[in-house]
């Protein structure tokens, strides 16, 4: 069976985008008003055979252009920043610096002050080679932090694979569930998320954290990840989760080689075809260090920010980041350069 995919190309920004969109020569990338696309890579796949052609913009691609509604009350017309709050003793990125409840809350509040729109609280490390954490232990780590940050008025997401943690975290005030297994780790996850009626982030991962980097393989990484995320989106919709409550994450670094990660970053616009918000989390990951030569994950700020800007210019709606202030400032400059009217002095 032949499958067809559409990858937006020929991106334009600001007044250029608005003018071309108004004249029906460009479409809105991922529903963004200030990012347009003028060309489309038409991809046809039949088994292992893949044909690619570049065609002019066509207005028939509604999934790409449909505005993404408010995600947990947040507008998706500019990138939202998801600040990372790891309440774990074995995080790859910060060495467990924020592993106590007090430290986690303090760090979350600091990220919010730096400009984070979402605070993503996680109590189980999913770094390559990591082992699972018991439900009770994960609950003891995340619930106090979720409760205090949400009570302080912040939009909080819970980074978990476990339905019991999802339910308790939402009860404590979490507004978003962020699941690295795309609701596949536990058979009850789909039903629980549908019942909780909160937005969910579906991340792609090949294998579980303990084994995912042993020998990842894809026929075509971008198309394979797209297909698997499409299956998960459809499973959510069939379970009663509306599309407006779904975001997808291609899962940079989760069961991917260095080359796979770069291929995904170079083809991010493909994922707008799923018709939902797109999240990218590449902050401080190993492939960033491989590109920059920085072995210390905590010092991969500049490379991480560069990747975040590239993702934003490709219409990504949510950027998951450790270094929120640096990311916010870089996006302010990139945004002003692509649309000078958006900045007032």
* 45 given a catalytic annotation: no
The whole-angstrom separation of Cα 341 and Cα 146 is: 37
Q: Check residue 124 and report its DSSP letter.
A: S
Which residues touch 104 (CB under 8 Å, ≥6 apart)? 85, 86, 87, 98, 121, 141, 145
Backbone conformation region of residue 247, classed left if phi is above 0, alpha if psi is from -120 to 50, else beta:
beta
Pairing of strands 318-321, 49-56: unpaired
* 243 given a catalytic annotation: no
The whole-angstrom separation of Cα 6 and Cα 154 is: 36
* 3 state DSSP class of 220: coil
Secondary element (H or E) of residue 269: none
**From 28, 232, 284, 320, active-site residue:** 320
Nearest CA among 308, 325, 303, 296 for reference residue 94: 296
By the 8 A CB rule, do 198 and 245 touch? Answer: yes
Which residues touch 56 (CB under 8 Å, ≥6 apart)? 38, 39, 40
**From 28, 232, 284, 285, active-site residue:** 285
Q: What are the tokens at 54?
A: 């570049």
Q: How many C-beta neighbours within 10 Å does residue 195 have? A: 16
Q: Check residue 274 and report its DSSP letter.
A: G
What separation in angstroms does the CA of 121 have from each of 106, 139, 142, 283?
12, 11, 6, 15
* Active-site residue list: 285, 320
């Amino acid at each position: 069976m032949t499958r067809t995919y559409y990858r937006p190309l020929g991106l334009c920004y600001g007044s250029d985008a608005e003018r071309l969109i108004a004249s029906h020569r460009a479409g809105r990338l991922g529903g963004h008003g200030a990012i347009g696309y003028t060309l489309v890579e038409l991809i046809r796949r039949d088994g292992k055979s893949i044909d690619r052609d570049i065609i002019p913009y066509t207005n028939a691609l509604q999934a790409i252009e449909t505005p993404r509604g408010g995600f947990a009350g947040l507008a998706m017309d500019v990138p939202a920043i998801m600040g990372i709050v790891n309440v774990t003793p074995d995080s790859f990125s910060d060495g467990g610096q924020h592993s106590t409840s007090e430290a986690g809350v303090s760090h979350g509040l600091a990220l919010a002050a730096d400009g984070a729109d979402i605070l993503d609280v996680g109590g189980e490390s999913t770094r390559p080679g990591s082992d699972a954490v018991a439900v009770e232990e994960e609950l003891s780590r995340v619930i106090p932090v979720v409760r205090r940050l949400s009570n302080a008025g912040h939009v909080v997401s819970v980074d978990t694979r476990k339905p019991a943690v999802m339910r308790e975290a939402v009860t404590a005030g979490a507004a978003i569930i962020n699941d690295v297994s795309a609701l596949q780790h536990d058979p009850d996850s789909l039903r629980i998320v549908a019942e909780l009626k909160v937005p969910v982030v579906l991340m792609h991962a090949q294998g579980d954290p303990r084994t995912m980097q042993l020998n990842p393989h894809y026929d075509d990484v971008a198309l394979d990840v797209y297909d698997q995320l499409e299956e998960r989106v459809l499973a959510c919709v069939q379970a009663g989760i509306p599309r407006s409550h779904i975001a997808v994450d291609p899962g940079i670094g989760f069961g991917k080689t260095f080359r796979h990660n770069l291929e995904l970053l170079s083809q991010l616009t493909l994922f707008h075809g799923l018709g939902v918000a797109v999240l990218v989390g590449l902050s401080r990951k190993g492939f960033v260090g491989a590109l920059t030569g920085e072995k210390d994950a905590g010092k991969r700020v500049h490379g991480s920010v560069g990747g975040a800007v590239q993702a934003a210019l490709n219409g990504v709606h949510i950027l998951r980041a450790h270094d929120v202030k640096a990311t916010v400032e870089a996006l302010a400059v990139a945004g002003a350069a692509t649309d000078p009217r958006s900045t007032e002095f």
